Amino acid sequence: MTDVEITDVQATQVDADWTWTFVRVYTDAGVTGTGECYWGPGVSDIVEDSAEWLEGEDPRDIEPLVHRLYEIHSATGSLAGATVSAISGIDIALHDLAGKLEEQPAYRLLGGAYRDEARIYVDCHAGAHLGGAFEGAKQEEHDRDIYSPESYADAAEMVADEGHDAIKFDLDASKRYEKDRHNRHLNAEAIDYKASVVEAVTERVGHDADVAFDCHWNYAGDSARRLAAAVEDYDVWWLEDVVPPENLEVQREVTQATDTTICAGENAFRTHGVRDMVERQGIDVLQPDMPKFGGMRETVKAANLADDYYIPLALHNVSSPLGTKAGAHVGVSVSNFLALEWHGRDDPDWDTFVEEDVIEGGSIPVSDEPGLGVTLDLDAVEEHMKEGETLIDEA
The CATH topology of domain 109-365 is TIM Barrel (3.20.20)
Note the pTM of the prediction, 2 decimals.
0.93
The residue among 338, 215, 326, 248 whose CA lies nearest residue 286 is 338
Please, which residues have CB within 8 angstroms of residue 98's CB and are 6 or more apart in sequence? 33, 59, 60, 62, 104, 109, 371
- pLDDT at residue 133, rounded to an integer: 40
Q: What is the pLDDT of residue 1?
A: 61
Task: Name the residue ranges covered by the structural domains of the chain.
Answer: 6-105+376-384, 109-365
Mean pLDDT for the chain overall: 92
Residues 29-67 pLDDT 10s:
999 999 999 877 889 899 999 999 999 999 999 999 999
Checking if the pLDDT of 139 tops 70, the result is: no
Return the percentage of the chain with pLDDT > 70, whole number.
Answer: 95
Under the banding of pLDDT at 50, 70 and 90, the label for residue 143 is low
Mean pLDDT of 338-358: 93
Residue 225 — very low, low, confident or very high, per pLDDT cuts 50/70/90? very high
Phi, psi of 14 (to 5 degrees): -125, 150
pLDDT digits (tens, 9 = 90+) for 156-189: 999 999 999 999 999 988 888 788 888 999 999 9
**Would you state the pLDDT for residue 145?**
79
**Whether the Cβ atoms of residue 82 and residue 47 lie closer than 8 Å to each other:** no
Q: Average of pLDDT values for 277-302? A: 97
For the domain bounded by 6-105+376-384, which CATH number is listed?
Answer: 3.30.390.10
List % helix, strand, coil for the chain (3-state, nearest 5): 40, 20, 40
Contact 124, 167 (CB under 8 A): yes
